[in-house]
Amino acid sequence: MVSVVLASVLAFPLALLVRRRPGPKGLLLASSTVLYSIPSLALIPVMVPFTGLSPWTVVLPLALYSLAVLLRNTLAGLDGVPTPVVDAARGMGYAPARLLLTVELPLALPAILAGLRIATVSAVAMTTIGGLVGFGGLGTLLLDGQRRNFRAQVLTATVLVVALAVVVDLVLLAVQRAAGRRGGRRAAGAEPVLQGGGPG
């Protein structure tokens, strides 16, 4: 989960930095797409000369994969905020920071949380690859069972990984749906302000 937290901390500032700059935005999205297409089995060995056989050998590649997903979804969420709602808030005198925190971010939250779901479930699944360098958690259990041809151990590790991914996904799905309902109410509440033409 450290990788997802690290990616989350980086994704939002990066999205804010490039959201209104088409050139850097396109370059960043293209780079993240290329990065996400690199297999984890290829990326983890590349990290070894820089991080050694440490937990960071697994954390950093997973953080990069998570960043690719979170950055794209954060930008999609912010770009998807209805223009009339933004105009209504500006008409009421909202400063940029207040507009972002109280209007745009709540409305973008469902898309951001959707990216968080994908990133988290992917990280849980890909963490097993870390067993190749001795830092895979359940991946170590899985690979050890394969080496010893111990099918019960392999099956147990597989079931635990799947169960963990499903539980995490269900929790984040519930949070995403709650955020979606709240965002819908906030967007609906802005309509009367827009129709009234803002403050007189």
CA of residue 21 relative to chain centroid, distance: 21
**132: pLDDT strictly greater than 80:** no
Establish if 200 belongs to a structural domain. Answer: no
Q: What is the dihedral of CA 108, 111, 113, 116, to 10 degrees?
A: -130
| pTM, to two decimals | 0.73
**197: pLDDT strictly greater than 60:** no
135-182: pLDDT as tens digits: 556 666 666 666 777 677 667 767 777 777 788 778 878 877 776 666
What CATH number is associated with residue 64?
A: 1.10.3720.10
Of 129, 168, 118, nearest in space to 47 by CA: 129
The packing angle between helices 151-195 and 105-126, to 10°, is: 170
Angle (CA) 173-178-184 rounded to 5° is 125
State the total domains in the chain: 1
Structural domain boundaries enclosing 97: 2-195
Establish if 43 belongs to a structural domain. Answer: yes
